[in-house]
A and B are shown apart, each in its own frame.
Chain A
């Protein structure tokens, strides 16, 4: 609240730190994972050093992503519960994608698409965690039968590819919607940005500020 009055704190420090920690770990886990899924791009594991080192570190990075997402779940789940007003966003999905902002869509802190992303990420990480633990060599894989290992590897691939595609979309939308990336770096978005993309949330914030007398 100490910022300029035309800025709103959207993402708190701990949440931002967690987000960027996940970005780093996920980048390393995803690139090494892709190097094994598409061996033509085996060089993608080189961010972690030798192929053996990449293989050693990949599961630990995955666990770090899981832990980070647990924190995010606790922090953000209340904003990502389905709401009736999400239907308005779905009905106007064309306008949203075509960059038209002529209609208020009653979007809360996160829009319906972001909520879907939230739950898809949480679902994917759960599948990745369970299947990853099952196939984790040197530690757990020996406790499972070969048919179970096969299913785990396939499930891990499906969930991994799915999550990577979701995150690629997430990155694109952050680039497309100007102000999003600086919002996640600094935590602050402009009031105009908030009204344009999250009108109901902006209204709630401003109403709260009025009642608390924070704004001058």
Chain B
């Protein structure tokens, strides 16, 4: 599998697309079955190992989440939720958080630097950190609150879906290491089929609302979840129910940007037309207007109070 085929590149006009000819590729996906996850954090360790990440060791704050949040050097994280339903039954929900690799990525849409965020033909969304300027627009663009800016080098980081492992035919480190098989990896179609099988099993076991999380608002994702309660994804540490690129971000990119381009062009054209039509606004240094305010007497002897003779026409306005 060649993951180096870029189908989308940040800050690049759709009028000048990336090379498209070698894009006949299978879209990949990672399927995380939260119902079989035991929260062992092996995936976190595998991620740190493979990507050479060594986050600072934090202190225990009384919850299982460790580290407390995603960070520039923690690209995936088990989020633990203790949920009590109406009948008082406690559920311990564990969700592996990280980049969802959206089909329509908000980070890529918001990024102002050409090529700093790319999407490969297999669906992976990747940050090209050497190009990153650390503006944080990807943070604002992401509907899942995933990218993090490093204090060390002021660049954005997130899960790469192990694009470097995929390039040599290996599965992502987290999927490879998961001891319960809660993380599967393959083509998007395979993962959807696998999810359907698993959801049917869960349905049989009484989880009527079990389902696949592959949100349509962002065109689907290349990281998907099997949830026991797909009707209420918010229950899993705030997984958004209907994630979408914020209207503020699309308004900025899809409305304001073209409007500003038109306004700029109209302004320049208007000014050019004005100058060509009216000519420069020159002061005749010998000419003294007969305005009542001027205390200085008119020096021209022929300039009477009713002298409304127009100024010498320097440039005909017609």
With contact pairs A169-B271, A172-B271 given, residues A153 and B293 touching in the complex (Cβ less than 8 Å): no
Measured CB to CB, the nearest residue on chain A to B268 is A168
Chain A residue contacts of B292, Cβ below 8 A: 104
Asked if A199 and B248 make an inter-chain contact with CB atoms under 8 angstroms apart, the answer reads no
Give B253 Cβ to nearest chain A Cβ, in Å: 9
Residue of A nearest to B113 (CB): A51
B22 located at the interface, meaning its Cβ lies under 8 Å from any Cβ of chain A in the complex: no
CB-based contact A178/B282 at 8 Å: yes
CB pair A39–B114 under 8 Å, yes or no, is: yes
Known interface pairs A39-B11, A98-B317, A195-B288; A55-B134 also in contact (CB < 8 Å): yes
Contact mask for chain A residues 170-202; partner B; CB cutoff 8 A; 1 contact, 0 none: 001001111100000000001011011101101
* Contacts A39-B113, A135-B136, A192-B288; A203 near B278 (Cβ below 8 A): no
A interface, over-half SS = helix
Using A40-B13, A200-B293 as known contacts, say yes or no to A153 and B113 having CB atoms under 8 A apart: no
**Residues 37-65 (chain A) with a chain B CB within 8 angstroms:** 37-40, 42, 51-52, 54-56
B150 (CB) vs chain A CBs: closest residue: A138
Chain B 105-138 near chain A by CB (<8 Å), digits 1 or 0: 0000010111000000000000000010111110
* CB of A12 within 8 Å of the partner chain: no
A178/B256 contact (C-beta < 8 A), A51-B131, A52-B134 known: no
A31 → B minimal CB distance (Å):
13
Task: Write out the residue numbers on chain A whose beta carbons fall within 8 Å of the beta carbon of B317.
Answer: 98-99
Beta-carbon contact of B291 and A51 below 8 Å: no
Measured in the bound complex, the distance between the Cα atoms of B294 and A101 in whole Å is 14
Give chain B's interface secondary structure class: loop
How many chain-A residues does the 8 Å CB contact rule pick out? 59
Binds A, one of B42-50, B173-181, B217-225, B258-266: B258-266
Indicate if A81 sits at the interface (CB-CB under 8 A): no
Is the Cβ of B280 less than 8 Å from the Cβ of A102?
no
Interfacial chain B residues near A169, Cβ < 8 Å: 267, 271
A137→B293 contact, CB < 8 A = no
Q: Which of B10, B135, B246 interacts with A137 by CB under 8 Å?
A: B135
Interface residue ranges of A15-42 to B (CB < 8 Å)? 35-40, 42
Residues of B within 8 A of A (CB): 10-13, 110, 112-114, 131, 133-137, 139-140, 142, 145, 149, 151, 154, 246, 248-249, 251-252, 256-257, 260-261, 263-264, 267-268, 271, 274-275, 278-289, 291-296, 308, 310-311, 314-315, 317
Question: 8 tightest CB-CB pairs across the interface, nearest first?
Answer: A39-B11, A104-B291, A36-B112, A55-B133, A203-B293, A150-B248, A137-B136, A161-B260
Sampled A-B contacts (16; CB under 8 Å): A35-B112, A54-B133, A102-B308, A137-B134, A137-B149, A150-B248, A161-B264, A165-B267, A169-B271, A175-B280, A177-B280, A178-B281, A195-B288, A195-B294, A202-B293, A203-B295
